[in-house]
Amino acid sequence: MAKVEAGMESMLEVYIFETNTLLEQLDEILLRTEEAGVFAEDDINEIFRIMHTIKGSSAMMGFENLQKLAHKGEDMFFIIREKPEIAKSAPFVYELIFEVSDLYKAEIEYIQTSDDDDFSPTDFSENYTKLMDATAKLKAMAAGEAVPEDTASAAKDAAPAKAAPIVGGGEGTMTVRVFFEEGCGMENLRAFLLLTKIKEEGEIISHIPADVETNAEAAKGIVDNGFIITFRGFDGNNDAVVKAIETALNVASYEIVETVSEEEAKKEEQTKAAESGAPAQKSAAKSQDDAKKSSGGGQKQSLISVNLAKLDQLHDIVGEIITTESMVIANPDLEGLRLESFSKAARQLRKLTDELQDVVMSIRMVPLAGVFQKMGRIVRDMKMKLNKDAELILEGETTEVDKSIVDSLNDPLMHLVRNCMDHGIETDVNERIAAGKPAKATVKLAAKHSSNEVIITVSDDGKGINCQKVLAKAIKNGMLTKPESEYTNKEIQNMILLPGFSTNEQVTEYSGRGVGMDVVKSNIEQIGGTLAVDSEEGKGTNFIIKIPLTLAIVEGMKLKVGSTIFTVPISSIKESLMVGNNKLINDTQQGEMIMIRGICYPILRLHEKFKMPTEVTDLNEGILLLVEVDDKSVCLFADRLIGEQPVVVKPFPKYLSQYNIKAEGLSGCTVMGDGTISLIIDVNSLINS
């Protein structure tokens, strides 16, 4: 992380979190207003609040380039606030603010990842110029004038309009308007230091703003209108005072201001008040009403932000408590003893640990809305670059999953949405109309809970997957593992998830390199999830993601195989059964199978799979566990069932990382009540292996 002053590290973490949150809000507002084609008053005020907050917090942290970037964006929206309708004829506003948002995100990521010694702020000079150009264009548009060619210099050199006549200080006095260097920050304090220097050469009659020493908000007025000082030099020598102003720190320029007498100023003020009195009173009344509305009836929210590392630590402690509880209750020293009081206390302890686990899990749960809404920006950018008219529809964005899983979903969802836009949506709108579809295409993100997992669907109503084209590409790349006639449409569609597979003949900005979809699949599998493809040619494509609610604590069923205990997640179990009257089948290709209610399921003997000695080899003596994941089922054969128990998932030691254990069907391990280790079965990997 970037180097900051000692004691500011925690403030930097808060700054990064709050700024990222504000940038997400900014993107959401821009996407909504761009679709509507106009900025509502509330939207403009919210954008001002976001820009102002980012500017202030960046200045506090010493990131002057980010402070200046936000300040330039704020200047541009100052014009739009005065005349919101000009945004309709100024689409460049959206592009620029999106660009500012992207620059902020990139710089914050750089701040997070840079080493202490090599951090150097990014130079945004070119972007400042773009924003100044845009501001000048907007000014000209608002005034109904021709847009100046050299808008950057025009914006820089233009003096701010005088809001009111400036009253002179009498004979021998001089009034100047001072401008400080752009982005220098804390202009009110710099104005106070300038006053101190002027006092060495003359007498200060007045200055506007008058409260620069005590009011930090005066800085904005100085930036907008300059710092106006009326003075009289000692012995009538005003030149010495002007020289002091010229040599003062951070002074960029100054101008001599024409003044009026106090009587003339009063006359002009009375004339303006007479012309605009009624509207002013109405506006004041409205402001009071708005203030009452905003202050009345509000309830204070009791929310706090907590570092995720602390939640991880709390979660680990709860996991250790659950393990220790099992060790106490299942202590072999207690076997054969009748301890009614102990059993009662043990049941109460289990109840409390279950409640504690639920509370800790709920604290870590966050809605998918944050991830889903980011996809709106991707759809918006791609539809402009690919010239495709499409909209993003969100469903179930309030669905909650573990924070660690949400962080791992950003990249997979981004790749899937891009795939829908690039491959799925038709390039020619006439092709859609001819097929009876609306001209505007739809990309849909939906999420819902199902048992102990969350199902996320990324879909489009485009052209779907051409199985013949996919199969031909797979044959060309030598990816087939069996005769092509034996492949079902489902298997062919899922070939797009294979490494190095791409149907695009040309490499583009978005696809064609054969990477992306296989990375999506592996990333989802790393968090214990699965990815499947379901498509109908001419109708569209669905990408179905199934992920667990959490990775750390799962409800498991314990199986015994020889002297080894395995744990199978209950979410994958359909039923347990004895062979009994069910019909056994020996297939020459599929091996052992069992007929259950008219459906054949293959049998996987765990002792053979993991090469473990056991005395139970007869199918009639052991137990079968029917497990299912991603529409694939198998019967696991074990010696016996031990029972259900919540288990804390522990990763395998690092020295085992040289072996691809997950590919063999094991996802981790857990400590049992008696201190022994139980291996946790990954049903999806086990079936695929």
SS3 call for 192? helix
Q: Are residues 378 and 358 in the same domain?
A: no
Crossing angle (nearest 10°) for helices 369-385 and 403-419: 20
Q: Are residues 535 and 420 in the same domain?
A: yes
Query: Is residue 282, in this structure, part of any structural domain at all?
Result: no
pLDDT at 459: 92
CB 178 within 8 A of CB 245: yes
Query: Where is pLDDT greater, at 32 or 561?
Result: 561
Q: What share of the chain is helix, strand, coil (3-state, %, to 5)?
A: 50, 20, 30
Query: Is residue 301, in this structure, part of any structural domain at all?
Result: no
| In the chain, % of residues over pLDDT 90 | 7
Query: Where is pLDDT greater, at 554 or 644?
Result: 644
Of 110, 125, 157, the position where a domain reaches its end is 157
SS3 call for 636? strand
- Comparing CA positions, the residue from 143, 36, 140 lying closest to residue 88 is 36
- Comparing CA positions, the residue from 594, 598, 576 lying closest to residue 585 is 594
pLDDT at 554: 77
Query: Is residue 163, in this structure, part of any structural domain at all?
Result: no
* Segment among 79-93, 148-162, 237-251, 449-463 with least mean pLDDT: 148-162
- Whole-Å CA distances, 124 to 19, 68, 196, 499: 18, 9, 34, 39
pLDDT band per the 50, 70, 90 thresholds, residue 367: confident
pLDDT in tens, 442-453: 999 999 887 667
Give the integer Cα–Cα distance in Å for 187 and 149.
31
Helices (H), 302-402: 308-329, 340-364, 369-385
In the DSSP assignment, the letter for residue 260 is: B
Query: Where is pLDDT greater, at 151 or 565?
Result: 565
Mean pLDDT of 465-482: 84
Of 345, 365, 385, the position where a domain reaches its end is 365
Mean pLDDT of 17-36: 83
Q: Are residues 448 and 524 in the same domain?
A: yes
Query: Is residue 502, in this structure, part of any structural domain at all?
Result: yes
Q: Are residues 144 and 196 in the same domain?
A: no
pLDDT at 306: 76
Name residue, tokens 């979660």: 315
- Comparing CA positions, the residue from 66, 37, 205 lying closest to residue 127 is 66
Give the integer Cα–Cα distance in Å for 595 and 134.
72
Tokens for 419, please give them.
């795939």
| CATH number of the domain where residue 393 is located | 3.30.565.10
Q: Are residues 203 and 330 in the same domain?
A: no
Crossing angle (nearest 10°) for helices 41-61 and 9-36: 160
Please state, rounded to an integer, the average pLDDT across all residues of the chain: 78
Three-class HEC string of 416-432:
HHHHHHHHHCCCCHHHH
Q: Are residues 436 and 483 in the same domain?
A: yes
Residue 421 one-letter amino acid: M
What pairs with residue 560 in β-bridges?
565, 640
Tokens for 274, please give them.
């007479």
* Segment among 496-505, 561-570, 617-626 with least mean pLDDT: 496-505
Give the integer Cα–Cα distance in Å for 567 and 640.
12
Q: Are residues 388 and 470 in the same domain?
A: yes
* pLDDT at residue 507 greater than cutoff 60: no
Of 548, 583, 598, the position where a domain reaches its end is 548
* pLDDT at residue 116 greater than cutoff 70: no
Q: Are residues 375 and 347 in the same domain?
A: no
Q: Are residues 145 and 41 in the same domain?
A: yes
pLDDT in tens, 210-233: 887 777 778 888 888 888 888 888
Q: What residues make up the domain containing 110?
A: 9-157
Give the integer Cα–Cα distance in Å for 471 and 577.
40
| CATH number of the domain where residue 578 is located | 2.30.30.40
- pTM equals 0.58
Query: Is residue 65, in this structure, part of any structural domain at all?
Result: yes
Query: Is residue 296, in this structure, part of any structural domain at all?
Result: no
Q: Are residues 453 and 582 in the same domain?
A: no
Query: Is residue 317, in this structure, part of any structural domain at all?
Result: yes
Query: Where is pLDDT greater, at 440 or 7?
Result: 440
**Chain-centroid distance, C-alpha 103:** 15
Query: Is residue 643, in this structure, part of any structural domain at all?
Result: yes
Sign (positive or negative) of CA dihedral 669, 670, 676, 682: negative
Mean pLDDT of 560-581: 87
Q: Are residues 152 and 18 in the same domain?
A: yes
| CATH number of the domain where residue 76 is located | 1.20.120.160
| CATH number of the domain where residue 213 is located | 3.30.70.1110
The structural domain count of the chain equals: 5
Give the integer Cα–Cα distance in Å for 138 and 149.
13
pLDDT at 503: 61
pLDDT at 272: 47
Give the integer Cα–Cα distance in Å for 399 and 447.
6
Tokens for 529, please give them.
């999830």
Q: Are residues 378 and 517 in the same domain?
A: yes
SS3 call for 355? helix
